[in-house]
Amino acid sequence: MKLEIKDLHASVEGKEILKGVDLTIGQGETHALMGPNGSGKSTLAYTLMGHPKYQVTAGQVTINGESILGLTPDKRVKKGLFLAFQYPVSVQGVSMFSFLRAAYNNSRPAGTELPTIFEFKEVVAEKLKMLSMDESFLNRYLNEGFSGGEKKRAEILQMALMQPKFAVLDETDSGLDIDALRIVAEGINKVSGPETGSLMITHYQRILKYVKPQFVHVMYQGRIIESGGEELSRLLEEKGYTWIKGYKEEEQVAPSAP
Ligand code: ADP
Ligand code: MG
């Protein structure tokens, strides 16, 4: 099973942000998507999930050969897609537990028998343990007053429950101190089985020491301008994004100048 993105163009409020993205993620693969701020990484994540503000103007996104572009976000979730947000929203009055249960129940394919509230509690308890999270988490309002680390752990808890086929993690490492980073990274490793394909969007190389990608891509100005193995992330860390920007700009200018 594959998530295939082909020549994807997408606009926000009439402005083209994604200008032809090509990327294929197979089950069991971990890809890192790096790139400077404003290059379109979050736009790609939102576009994949079907956020109504992001309009696809050209290209294709398929899971197992079937287009998902006509589907609403909830239907994409049922196809096995999951997004961990860069900035998770907080919702006063909605407990973590009821949120997780609603999200879980709505993500199951039609016709699946849903767990009772007691069965679900057991499932969640097991995942909490795996992520070294306290059960009191469940009684708190969704992300309300959560620290940066707690918010990111709550996202990974959702991922653990959903067991997605394809997970997009948008800067799950941002705002974490080194201990929280390790716990979150270990959580990601525990919840990504051989069936999961993941796209780790990150600005820094540090999380990639814990969650090892087989493929690293660099996005710049709405396109993937470079792909390689893990060594590419180390090269970027060493030389910075200006290195790759400069190198690519030179390359593009020469042959296409009128
Ligand atoms: P990254 O995640 O790589 O930092 P983004 O995808 O957030 O980049 O942003 C890429 C570009 O798209 C930026 O120029 C940003 O201003 C613009 N953009 C993204 N989302 C919106 C939005 N909802 N409304 C207007 N502009 C947006
Ligand atoms: Mg972003």
Q: If you measure from the C-alpha of residue 210 to the centroid of ligand 1, how many angstroms do you get, rounded to a whole number?
A: 28
Per-residue model confidence (pLDDT) at position 200: 95
Per-residue model confidence (pLDDT) at position 203: 83
Q: If you measure from the C-alpha of residue 229 to the centroid of ligand 2, how many angstroms do you get, rounded to a whole number?
A: 22
The mean pLDDT value for 88-113 works out to 88
Over residues 106-145, the pLDDT tens digits come to 888 888 899 999 999 999 999 998 888 889 989 998 888 8
Give residues whose Cβ lies within 5 Å of ion ligand 2. 41-42
> Exposure pattern of 181-213 as b/e (b: 16+ CB <10 Å)?
bebbbbbbeebbeeebbbbbbbbebebbeebeb
CB-ligand 1 contact for 13 (6 Å cutoff): yes
Domain spanning 2-86+164-256, CATH architecture = 3-Layer(aba) Sandwich (3.40)
Instruction: Kindly indicate the confidence band of residue 64, based on its pLDDT and cuts at 50, 70 and 90.
Output: very high
Residue type, 239: K
pTM for the whole thing?
A: 0.90
Over residues 1-39, the pLDDT tens digits come to 999 999 999 999 999 999 999 999 999 999 999 999 999
Contact 167, 82 (CB under 8 A): yes
Over residues 75-92, the pLDDT tens digits come to 999 999 999 988 888 888
4: phi then psi, degrees, rounded to nearest 5 = -115, 125
Sequence-separated (6 or more) residues with CB below 8 Å from residue 26: 1, 2, 197
Q: From atom 26 of ligand 1, which residue's Cα is the shortest distance away? A: 12
Per-residue model confidence (pLDDT) at position 250: 67
CB-ligand 1 contact for 35 (6 Å cutoff): yes
Q: Which two tokens stand for residue 17?
A: 């942000």
Sequence-separated (6 or more) residues with CB below 8 Å from residue 79: 63, 66, 68, 71, 165
Q: If you measure from the C-alpha of residue 38 to the centroid of ligand 2, how many angstroms do you get, rounded to a whole number?
A: 7
Enumerate the β-bridge partners of residue 168: 83, 199
What SS3 state is found at 233? helix
Q: What beta strand segments (E) does the chain contain?
A: 2-12, 15-26, 30-34, 54-63, 66-67, 81-84, 91-95, 141-142, 166-170, 197-201, 215-220, 223-228
The residue assigned the tokens 């503000």 is 53
Per-residue model confidence (pLDDT) at position 257: 47
Q: Is the pLDDT of residue 190 over 90?
A: no
Sequence-separated (6 or more) residues with CB below 8 Å from residue 252: none
Residue type, 220: Y
Per-residue model confidence (pLDDT) at position 150: 86
Write down the domain spans for the chain.
2-86+164-256
Contact 203, 34 (CB under 8 A): yes
CA distance 12 to 115: 39
DSSP label at 207?
G
> Which of 11, 17, 18, 85 gets mutated to test ligand 1 (max ligand atoms within 8 A of its CB)?
17
Enumerate the β-bridge partners of residue 23: 5
Over residues 148-182, the pLDDT tens digits come to 888 888 999 999 999 999 999 999 988 888 888 88
Over residues 214-254, the pLDDT tens digits come to 999 999 999 999 999 999 998 888 888 887 776 666 665 55
Q: Is the pLDDT of residue 71 over 60?
A: yes
